[in-house]
Amino acid sequence: MPVAASRRILIAGGGIGGLALAIALARRCRASLVLEGRAEFSPAGAGIQLGPNGVRVLESLGVAALLAPHVGVPEAVHVFRGGTGRQLAALPLGAWIAARHGAPYWVAHRADLHGALKAAADTHDLIEIRNGFEVSSVRQTDAMVEATAGNGARETGAALIGADGLWSAVRAAVAPGVTPRFAGASASRVVLARDKAGRLAANTVGLWLSPKAHVVHYPVRGGAEIAAVVIAEETWQSRVWDAEADRVQLAAHLAAFDESLANVLLAADGWRRWSLNRMDELPTWARGRTGLIGDAAHPMFPYLAQGGVLALEDALVLAGLLAETGREAEALASFSEARRARARRVQEASRRNGWIYHLAGPMGLARDAVMAAASGERLMAGLDWLYGWRA
């Protein structure tokens, strides 16, 4: 086996986590080969929220400056009662959160984030990206790991990291038999021009609460567009992340919301949707020279907007542990132990948010009263443990 192949890290998946890991490794003088199943990267995608913990990772990777011209920097999170449009709370972002945590709160289009990561990766000679290589099986020994694609192509390296998402193929080599399960809900997304967004065009994150659905929206593309997502309980399920949304079902979900929101969203074209899934906690994220990061290891519900950010955190931590050649299995085991409690806490907080968002009847009214009475600063301070994270 060539010397370069014996030292390089194989990364299955060229998404947010995979590219961030490749960049972080290159900055520590370790080569990587990114194996991406898609024949080419797609500009499709939805919005993504990047708390200060995520922006700090991007700064450390040299990616933040590339992304900055394309982000939105919302001033606050405005929480509304879905059926009436009445504002319940204003939670500070903008200058307040940047001063508190030493980094801003950004919102962006996923394609812009991926583009910035790809542009940064392309500047590193130690990073090779191979499209059209979808890992289907893994073989490892004490000295190496081999990834095989569906077409029979093979690549070897010192370690293999599964950054291949919710339906990870690499996960079978780490935790056989563990698969995601449908969670009884879907997320439908759209991006619309700011001049067609009505009250959604404010420079804020809007959060609208209703018993069986909630809506989130925020500015992307430097404020020129507004990304919106409707998360609702429903029986439709699919493994496809970019399925066409059912307009009749979408209209039924939005019927519970004030027309100042519903009418704007129903007038928008290009709605896509995906199913929400849950997965049992894995007994470990690493086995020998094979490990997992991001959704492959700990899929997140979107109720705390931390799925992509946790993948960024994972990448930075793992790259630091893999900096020393020859101790890959030990580094992966240490990574699993170091990150599991953090991921578990974020998962639990996200599930709790989802429960709170969809409260109905007297409990929903009580939630609204508490949010209206509490100061926004106090509510945001309760998330210092989340946004204050540093590697």
For 14-35, write each residue's pLDDT tens digit. Answer: 999 999 999 999 999 999 999 9
pLDDT score recorded for residue 1 = 42
pLDDT above 60 for 4: no
- Cα 289 to chain center, whole Å? 25
| pLDDT (tens digit per residue) in 157-205 | 999 999 999 999 999 999 999 999 999 999 999 999 999 999 999 999 9
**What's the rounded Cα separation, in Å, for the pair 120 and 62?**
7
Please answer whether residues 160 and 169 qualify as being in contact, where contact means their C-beta atoms are separated by less than 8 angstroms.
no
Q: Is 387 among the catalytic positions?
A: no
Give kind and range of the element (H or E) at residue 318. Answer: helix 307-321
Give kind and range of the element (H or E) at residue 188. Answer: strand 181-193
Mean pLDDT of 195-218: 97
- Give the other-Cβ count within 10 Å of 86's Cβ: 12
Which band of pLDDT confidence, cut at 50, 70 and 90, is reported for residue 92? very high
**What's the rounded Cα separation, in Å, for the pair 119 and 252?**
41
Q: Which of 105, 218, 357, 387 is catalytic?
A: 218
Q: In what order do the strands lie in the sheet with 290-292?
A: 127-131, 32-36, 9-12, 159-162, 290-292, 286-287
How far from 209 is each of 158, 343, 371, CA to CA, in Å?
48, 25, 12
Closest C-alpha to 33, from 205, 167, 194, 156:
156
Please answer whether residues 23 and 61 qualify as being in contact, where contact means their C-beta atoms are separated by less than 8 angstroms.
yes
